[in-house]
A and B are shown apart, each in its own frame.
Chain A
Amino acid sequence: MAERKLLQRDSDDEGSLLSRLGTDSPKPRVKFGGMFCNVEGAYENKTLNFESYNSSPQSVRRHVKVKNEEKCWSDTFSDTGSVSNFSSVSETRPSGDRAIGTEIGSSRGQIVYQTGPGHNREHNGKRETDRLIIKGGKIVNDDQSFYADVYVEDGTIKQIGENLLVPGGVKTVDAYGHIVIPGGIDVNTSLQTSQLGMSPSDDFYHGTKAALAGGTTMIIDHVVPEPGASLLGAYDQWKDIADRGSCCDYSLHMDITRWHDGLFEEMESLVKNKGVNSFLIFMAYKDKFQSSDSQMYEMFGIIRDLGAIAQVHAENGDIIDEEQKRLLELGITGPEGHVLCHPEEVETEAVYRAITIAKQANCPLYITKVMSKSAADVIAKARKKGMVVYGEPITASLGTDGSHYWSKNWAKAAAFVMSPPLSPDPSTPDYLNSLLSCGDLQVTASGHSTFSTAQKAVGKDNFTLIPEGTNGIEERLAIVWEKAVATGKMDENEFVAVTSTNAAKLFNLYPRKGRIAVGSDADIVIWNPKETKTISAATHALTVEINIFEGMEVRGAPVVVISQGKIVLEGGKLNVSEGSGRFVPRKAYPDFIYKRIKARSKMADARGVPRGNYDGPVHDVISMTKSVPATPSSRGPQCPGKGPLGPTRNLHQSGFTLSGTQIDDHIPRRSAQRIVAPPGGRSNITSLS
């Protein structure tokens, strides 16, 4: 081995130089069996080079043509080495996330045990046979496409290339004529959030099963604690349910529904120890979940300091509340009332406000559920001004519109009820698809939260009681393909970006998820762009009885879905195992987002003007009404930790200076100081005369 390594070293040095010279610039797309198929290392630049993360010299992984079986095996071993290196990379990455780091740092098998000791043992046996080779497909990542085979073992991708040497007894998956894409990541599902005491009809098992059927191999679900309840408690509850039910890997967002004492400590603990790096704040649902602007500002400051991502449900809850009252008074009780009292401007206004507050707090912002043209426009404009803001259209807003709220069929109209509502403007889906294609919107999700017709019928006489949510977890990839790729708005690479890669980058799952590369998780979808399917409640994998896309014909469908290295969909048959999904922790400070935030917080320091003391006359003030809170009345609850202005702890700055190593040790402290030259010059007159 050592000799070989040395040899490789030498050849690597000049090889890298020479091969870069010769082959780097515009790399021809290699067709399988074409004349370039034998060029050595042709695939290397196309896969992520994990070694570059790593300073340790061991196991430089190269695809040398190895002739005999033995060397092939040694090569495979060095692959395993490189995988564990990849994990240890994440460990050595500067962050205080020790606990998670070691979890990943240990070998793959162990992490499976960690998530749920009860039900993974039996899979372990299965996993040994889980060696797959995907042959003949075109691999599509977000940056480029190329022809190569993929070898999968132990739930990770071990080799990519042509003429791979693999052990015997490997199952071959034929992908000729299809594209091989990273499995979709659905960043917004609510599979466990109950409304009015009713649980969604698709729980973690059914939901993730449907996700896999549609080509989505990872979901990020929203934890919605009851207002006032502990975040950690809700998190544990969610994780417990998901561990038992989920069929694919999952992660969790945390929703902030109410301010209470200890909230900050809980958030800190979630980020540091629990692998949560995103928090959602509601601007709607007045008197239930809604946060005031002050609370949002403070929350954004905390989220930024923790290195997490702020998500908002953007709707002006005050206006909605008033409009709901007005509509009910007018006697409108059907589902059309829902869209009438959630007009588009109300969404747009909230997006605008959230962006303003995030800008002030220098916090990255993620708008969930972009449902209308004008809201998308606000996001696009803010991005042009340089804001770190991301927008998430969902399956429903990309695939259908809000005209169905006026359906004579109550059950159908009610099935579309969700917040923000689908826009009645029929040109909305097209517009959102265009913005998604040009990069103004970045991520797609489903917002999946389904309730049966009987559950929705709770609001049959009052639309405000209809539980909100639509399906979309299964249809997402197909609808984006149909609406955006089949129409020529985006290409297959952008398709991968918006369905998987961007989400992985934003939420710090990259490159473990969202890319087909050596060392990444084997969450792979073999996609047939030509297959045509009609969406219907009769055939979907969900339990809900109405599908909002009923009758829609879509091109593009998954042929084979591989999750955690196992084939879960093949030949139209789903083969999922309840509880096999692992919790995927996410670290704070995703590079994709925080590089800019860090640079900005260095610049953003405001400086006072050094002046002499004012020594002129001072008017006597009799009553200082301003400092007295004039009406302790009804101006929104004071947030905790804010009441007395005395010597309280500064929540924005000091959350991290109490113990030794800090989560943000790698961020340089704000030390640069910009001196503002005062426009008025340097005179120091303090009074006029």
Chain B
Amino acid sequence: MSGQGYQGKKNIPRITSDRLLIKGAKIVNDDQSFCADIYMEDGQIKQIGENLIVPGGVKIIDAHGRMVMPGGIDVHTRFQMPDRGMTSVDDFYQGTRAALAGGTTMIIDHVVPEPGASLLSAFEQWREWADSKSCCDYSLHVDITEWHKGVQEEMEALVKDHGVNSFLVYLAYKDVFQLTDSQVYEVFSVIRDLGAIAQVHAENGDIVAEEQRRILEQGITGPEGHVLSRPEEVEAEAVNRSVTVANQTNCPLYITKVMSKSAADVIAQARKKGTVVYGEPITASLGTDGSHYWSKNWAKAAAFITSPPLSPDPTTPDYLSSLLSCGDLQVTGSAHCTFSTAQRAVGKDDFTLIPEGTNGAEERMSLIWDKCVVTGKMDENQFVAVTSTNAAKIFNLYPRKGRIAVGSDADLVLWDPDVIKIISAKSHNSNVEYNIFEGVEVRGAPLVVISQGKMVLEEGNLHTTEGCGRFVGRKPFSDYVYKRIRARSRLAELRGVPRGLYDGPVCEVSLTPKTMTPASSAKTSPAKQAAAGAQPVRNLHQSGFSLSGAQVDDNLPRRNTQRIVAPPGGRANITNLG
């Protein structure tokens, strides 16, 4: 039965136990909680209600009134991430295993193409790695590490044919991944037209590069240099800038890794002004702070290296969890990207060489429960929203993921709110030898985790299967995000003022330095330079879709309404004075 593996994958013979009934559960969705039984079959939720009629031979889990919630979605992981020939120690197997152990049943990983490499081939590479190793469902973001015409075509192909609806742009990593503001503007325009979501790694790479140089010159080489060279303002500035560009291009924006209070404030303020922007604090920023960068223990200090760095302000985690609770921040990720101490030690004499990333895939759910729900900042429904539902909505996985409803995937977590656990590198499932939350006591943990309709965590035992994770394609024009964007693009049409021709005297201009590009200026993007050569250029903003028949954005009404602006100066048509 139901043995038809998804995407040609073989399922493993514990299939007989694939019919599950959870009895006496308190079902927690993001909008309400209610008591009912859940019956699952074939990896889907088939029935919800009381006194369900189910076939015999069904495995029954008695929830005893405990909470059952949609499995967590970790929107930001970097498993198996290559960095200068090294690979992060948690590959897709170890990483997703750790995620499942913590109650997360789906991850979205980042594809990082080397600058110069093709997006599609990088995407295929990541698919291959993940398909062979992932233990839970996964999806992929694609990072834009350089910008030229070909990239745009590949993005189009990824959105249309490969189920990618989010692209990340770097404002940091100067001379490696960083894009200029012009390029970001163009990328955002393309993303909007494709119906995808623009993600931003928000740090001002220029300032960071200068500060790194300065701090190395001062002789500071340890991990504390990392946080000193990336002060909080640098993050807030980049967030502000990307919000501005997104506003101009009318593109939905998603800020990955919100690490500081001021960056979160910028997002909150932009939302108050109506910008479509989402912020993602991560496990590390919610659970710990950056004081550890000054640890005397080099290995410990280096384990906290991530970008943007953890804020040395110890009130940051509290502040971020408050903003998460009140809805100013919406989604939580883990940015799980771990390197062993030996790998980190590559930068033992130069903090800029330390590979970046912290753990957090496993601890995310428990930490948020402990920091937010136990303290009374949010209730269980909001908890579901920030750990799972919001992510599913933004990235167009809803209601397949992120909700307990008939027809949804059977990714469930039976949550025990009272169990107390101490996080430690000894007991965690990640491969890394250092856990940044070492010794933190958290309340709340998953009792049972069900992924794709199978129990993968039961009584503390993990039963994961390498390679059973399916790739979940995501469609563009996510309703949750694009309903507003569409309405705005209809309004955003700009109109000129109809005037008579100016017929007065015109000064003779001998030279027009503005149109002549200065030779040494290397600031324009390659796409633009190409465009400057040929005059009748194709309009990159508008015409990406008019070449073939069915279009990816057919459901988007064309801009046809036109707002007429009544000129404040009245209707006179005087063209010169006197």
Where the two chains meet, the residues of A that have a C-beta atom closer than 8 Å to any C-beta of B are: 196-198, 227, 286-288, 290, 292-294, 296-298, 316, 318-319, 321-323, 326-327, 329-334, 336-337, 340, 343, 345-346, 348-349, 352-353, 356-357, 359-360, 403-404, 406-413, 452-455, 457-458, 460, 464-465, 537, 545-546, 606-609, 611-614, 616-619, 621-626, 629-631, 633-637, 645, 650, 652, 676, 678-688
Contact = CB atoms under 8 A, between A and B. Distances in A.
Given A410-B502, A457-B502, 5 more contacts: A292-B523, A322-B182, A458-B509, A634-B523, A635-B180
Interface in B507-530: 507, 509-514, 517-518, 520-526, 529
A356 B233 contact: yes
B178 A635 contact: yes
Interface in B166-215: 174-176, 178, 180-182, 184-186, 204, 206-207, 209-211, 213-215
B333 interface: no
Given A636-B522, A680-B292, A684-B296, A458 B514 contact: no
Nearest to B506: A457
A643 B483 CA distance: 48
Contacts of A332: 494-496
A608 B244 contact: no
Interface in B521-544: 521-526, 529, 539, 541
Given A630-B176, A635-B174, A353 B237 contact: yes
B299 A360 contact: no
A407 B568 contact: yes
A679 B219 contact: no
B268 interface: no
Given A460-B506, A606-B220, A684-B296, A618 B541 contact: no
Contact of A608 (B85, B221, B299, B509): B221
B345 A617 contact: yes
Contacts of B517: 287
A353 B171 CA distance: 13
Select the residue from B217, B296, B346, B529 with max chain A CB neighbours within 10 A.
Answer: B296
B502 A679 contact: no
Select the residue from A356, A413, A465, A687 with max chain B CB neighbours within 10 A.
Answer: A356
Given A292-B206, A334-B499, A453-B504, A408 B218 contact: no
A614 B299 contact: yes
Contact of B84 (A316, A318, A411, A626): A626
A546 B577 contact: yes
A310 to B, nearest CB: 15
Contacts of A633: 146, 522, 526
A687 B302 CA distance: 11
Nearest to A300: B210
15 contacts: A196-B512, A198-B507, A287-B523, A288-B518, A294-B209, A318-B181, A352-B237, A356-B234, A357-B207, A407-B567, A460-B502, A465-B509, A617-B341, A635-B178, A676-B294
Interface string B425-452: 0000000011000000000000000000
A389 to B, nearest CB: 13
A619 B346 CA distance: 6
A685 B240 contact: no
A75 B515 CA distance: 65
Given A294-B210, A297-B210, A298-B210, A685 B507 contact: no
Contacts of A684: 296-297
Contacts, number: 312
B179 to A, nearest CB: 9
Contacts of B568: 403-404, 406-407
Contacts of B497: 334, 336, 406-408, 413
Contact of B294 (A348, A614, A652, A678): A678
Interface of B: 84-86, 114-116, 146, 174-176, 178, 180-182, 184-186, 204, 206-207, 209-211, 213-215, 217-222, 224-225, 228, 231, 233-234, 236-237, 240-241, 244-245, 247-248, 291-292, 294-301, 340-343, 345-346, 348, 352-353, 433-434, 494-497, 499-502, 504-507, 509-514, 517-518, 520-526, 529, 539, 541, 565, 567-578
Contacts of A464: 514
Given A297-B207, A465-B514, A625-B84, A617 B342 contact: yes
B218 A606 contact: yes
A319 B251 CA distance: 14
Contacts of A608: 218-222, 224-225
Contacts of A686: 297-299
Contact of B233 (A329, A359, A652, A682): A359
B526 A356 contact: no
Given A412-B569, A617-B345, A352 B240 contact: yes
A650 to B, nearest CB: 6
B514 A360 contact: no
Contact of A650 (B115, B217, B245, B520): B217
B505 A454 contact: yes
A330 B494 contact: yes
Interface of A is mostly: loop
A679 B298 CA distance: 13
Contacts of A453: 504-505, 576-577
A680 B224 contact: no
A360 B84 contact: no
A196 B569 contact: no
A197 B569 contact: no
B456 to A, nearest CB: 30
B504 A626 contact: no
A323 B231 contact: no
A131 B293 CA distance: 69
Contacts of A349: 240-241, 244-245
A606 B228 contact: yes
Contacts of B299: 614, 616, 685-688
B342 A682 contact: no
A356 B234 CA distance: 7
Given A360-B234, A609-B222, A637-B522, A318 B180 contact: yes
Contact of A326 (B206, B241, B541, B572): B541
Given A293-B206, A319-B244, A631-B146, A287 B524 contact: yes
Nearest to B235: A356
Nearest to B521: A287
Given A292-B206, A636-B180, A618 B348 contact: yes
B453 to A, nearest CB: 39
B120 to A, nearest CB: 19
A465 B217 CA distance: 45
The 8 A-B pairs at the shortest CB distance, nearest first, are namely A680-B295, A293-B206, A318-B181, A407-B569, A608-B220, A622-B85, A356-B237, A349-B244
A115 B231 CA distance: 47
Contacts of B539: 329
Contacts of B571: 408
A197 B509 contact: yes
B224 A356 contact: no
B433 A688 contact: yes
Contacts of B292: 679-680
Contacts of A465: 509, 512, 514
B207 A360 contact: yes
A619 B342 contact: yes
A541 B13 CA distance: 94
Nearest to B573: A408
Contacts of B206: 292-294, 296-297
Contacts of B220: 606-608
Contacts of B222: 608-609, 611
A322 B186 contact: yes
B514 A609 contact: no
A356 B235 CA distance: 10
B180 to A, nearest CB: 6
A408 to B, nearest CB: 5
B248 A454 contact: no
A469 to B, nearest CB: 14
Given A360-B233, A411-B576, A634-B524, A336 B496 contact: yes
